[in-house]
Chain A
Amino acid sequence: MPEQPILIIGGGPAGMEAARAIADLGYHAILVEKRNRLGGTPDEAGYAALTPDFRNAGEAMAEMAARIENNPFVNLKLNSTVTAASGSVGNFEVTIQNGQASEKINAGAVIIATGFQHFDPGRETQQYGYYEFDDVITLVDLEKMLRAHNVVRPSNGKPPERLCFIQCVGSRDRQIGNEYCSKVCCGIASKEAIEVRQQLPNCKVFIFYIDMRMYGYWENQIYWPAQEKYKVNYVKGIVTEVLKKGDRLLIRGEDTTMGRPMEIPMDIVVLSVGMEPSAGTCELAKIFGVQQNKYKFIETLGGALDTVTTSVEGVFACGAATGPADLEDSVSSAAAAAMKAIAAVRKHRPLE
């Protein structure tokens, strides 16, 4: 009897890459995605261009999807989710729900790739007025505007003259409980800042930060050009509060370098929201009984040496389901999960 297929849950970049890797190696994958299309959060949230090379996000996700759509080794189940699971490595029995219908399938191993959700800035950091002021938006809202080439103040439809980013919103914050760095927001804010300057050369752009955290080459791919070529103003000092003044916003904070308080009028304030585990990631962790860490991301047990093995044998996790990750990390960990899942299935072939 041939090996059982490997079940992948989540059709974002990580899930798509895991499915492709499994198919390329000649194994069967079942990919369950709750939305009606592949592409994950970059597709759902409508990202414009991707770090670090400004590649069109829609195109990049479509390319990943094309490799597994109509692939005989990949059984795609859209509009579906997993509601129950039993069994163990070599033979999991999993219930897949599609609308009213539910079916049971068998899988030799499982890869959870259910990703993240953006931090909701209205939840805890009310001092930034996300739900109060129309012109306070998030990185994700700005992605959509950039994609449409229509960066305007939501309050009056006019292009902003001054726009700022506030970093670490919902990250690195003990008060909120998200003590971790979300890893990508410094790069993404810088990338968006460049795009704003490209689309609106007269708009002054500020980034208020604790420290800028750039991944390896992102340093001179994104950060340096933002500063040197596009004259984005990086000001060390996180904004304390956003107030309304006339028809503009007023940000208050400290300019640490110059050692002075600052109160600067802004037309748009962009909150650099970080990542939290998606609802799906939390649900799937419960269904498969895998450990979650303090922040509810799925815990992987191998430390730095194994980033995909969970507390349940035969169940692996990858991408942003295991913690903040950019595409590069997500796709790399997905390939590692695919490899380990295949190895697990081979080791636990059901008896003939």
Chain B
Amino acid sequence: MALDLSGKKYAQVSYEEKERLFNEVKADLRYEEYLYGCYECGICVAACPSARFYDFSPRKIAQAVAREDIDLVYTLMNDSIWDCSQCFSCDRCPRKNSPGGIITIMREVAVKNGLASAQAALEGYGRVVYKIMSTGTQVSPDMLQPSAFPDWGPHVKEISNNLDVWRRALPPETLHTTETGWQVDDKTLIELYLIWHMTGVMDMIKEVDEGLFMILQDVMEERLEEAGYDVSFE
């Protein structure tokens, strides 16, 4: 769908709310290093893989932010930043901007504030997040849900129906990590839970996915209690 930058799309959201979010972006410590001015040279766009596939432009991000156009930044924060693949090819900017870095900050603000777009964008990752955060270890091939990744193409859905059969047809073992990858030392796991608690990661999850938060909360609180910590995520 074409990106609507007319400024009318989010007219129902108050200017003050948009401004509050933008100020949160600007208050990030990295902001000063990620944005200077913009030449309109388009070097970032030409380097950007996402720009090839979506109606997406790192230059528009840099411009909107540099111009401090609050309505525009809000629109981009909702409708554009999730198209970035965070590869940082745009870091070759002659003004030393990092559009990808600015997007990182914008995404964090979007997640922290539970913007609907952030919820939608992260929906497909629920299982991944659950697995990683509850077990403290990596993603395995059985965890990705094709329905959440439209950019994988239409045939992926078809293939995924008989994935077990396909996998068995392959000479190398592809699913061993689903069994072996989850052995995490108790102490490490407890420390990870504490870090996620103390750094506000759990708060962020609560903002974007209440259901996921509740499941994780159950798992974590119980383990922490066993380990002798009296931690509440509320």
B5–A227 CB distance below 8 A: no
Contact of B40 among A233, A236, A259 (CB under 8 A): A236
A227–B66 CB distance below 8 A: yes
Mask: chain A, 212-243; 1 = CB below 8 Å from B; 0 = not: 00000000000110011001011110000000
Q: Decide: A257 near B36, CB < 8 A? Known: A227-B66, A235-B67.
A: no
List of A residues within 8 angstroms of B5 by Cβ: 258-260
List of A residues within 8 angstroms of B37 by Cβ: 223-224, 227-228, 234
B6–A257 CB distance below 8 A: no
Mask: chain B, 54-74; 1 = CB below 8 Å from A; 0 = not: 000001100110111100100
Q: Decide: A257 near B66, CB < 8 A? Known: A224-B36, A228-B36, A228-B37.
A: no
A258–B68 CB distance below 8 A: no
A231–B68 CB distance below 8 A: yes
In the bound complex, what is the Cα–Cα distance between A233 and B67 (angstroms)? 5
B40–A257 CB distance below 8 A: yes
Nearest CB in chain A: distance from B90 CB, A: 15
Q: Decide: A257 near B68, CB < 8 A? Known: A224-B36, A224-B37, A228-B36.
A: no
Pick from A224, A234, A257, A260 the residue with the most CB of B within 10 Å: A257
In the bound complex, what is the Cα–Cα distance between A259 and B80 (angstroms)? 15
List of B residues within 8 angstroms of A224 by Cβ: 36-37
In the bound complex, what is the Cα–Cα distance between A268 and B38 (angstroms)? 25
Nearest CB in chain B: distance from A188 CB, A: 18
Contact of B60 among A231, A233, A235, A258 (CB under 8 A): A258
Contact of B63 among A223, A231, A257 (CB under 8 A): A257
In B20-69, the 8 Å CB interface with A consists of 36-38, 40, 59-60, 63-64, 66-69
| Nearest-neighbor residue (CB-CB) of B95 within chain A | A224
Nearest CB in chain A: distance from B100 CB, A: 18
| Nearest-neighbor residue (CB-CB) of B40 within chain A | A236
In B191-209, the 8 Å CB interface with A consists of none
Pick from B6, B40, B59 the residue with the most CB of A within 10 Å: B40
In the bound complex, what is the Cα–Cα distance between A235 and B69 (angstroms)? 11
List of A residues within 8 angstroms of B38 by Cβ: 227, 234
List of B residues within 8 angstroms of A260 by Cβ: 5-6
Mask: chain B, 1-30; 1 = CB below 8 Å from A; 0 = not: 000011000000000000000000000000
Nearest CB in chain A: distance from B165 CB, A: 47
Nearest CB in chain A: distance from B152 CB, A: 29
In the bound complex, what is the Cα–Cα distance between A227 and B37 (angstroms)? 6
**Which residues in A have some Cβ–Cβ distance to B below 8 Å?**
223-224, 227-228, 231, 233-236, 257-260
Q: List 11 A-B contacts (CB under 8 A).
A: A224-B36, A224-B37, A227-B36, A227-B38, A231-B68, A234-B37, A234-B38, A257-B59, A257-B60, A257-B63, A258-B72
